[in-house]
Amino acid sequence: MRKIWPNSAVLGGMVDAKGTSHGKSFVLHARFVDVGTKRDGKWQVIFTQIRNAA
C-alpha cells in the first residue's frame, strides 16, 4: 500500500527476514508502515512502525 502527496507519503507492506542477533538465529514475518516527508527536496522517513505478523 502506498499513498503519495506532494510533500509526504505513507508506505506499508510485509517483510520477511532471517538472520542472527547476539549469536541466536531469528526468523521474522512482519507488517510495517513508513511515513515520509520531503525536506529540502529530499525524502526522509520520519516514522516507522513494525509489528510481528505471526
Please report, in tens digits, the pLDDT of each residue of the chain (54 residues total).
Answer: 999 999 999 999 999 999 999 999 999 999 999 999 999 999 999 999 999 997
Supply the DSSP symbol for 6: S
Q: Which three cell numbers stand for residue 33?
A: 508502515
What nine digits make up the cell of 13? 507492506
SS3 label, residue 7: coil
pLDDT value at residue 50:
97
pLDDT at residue number 45: 98
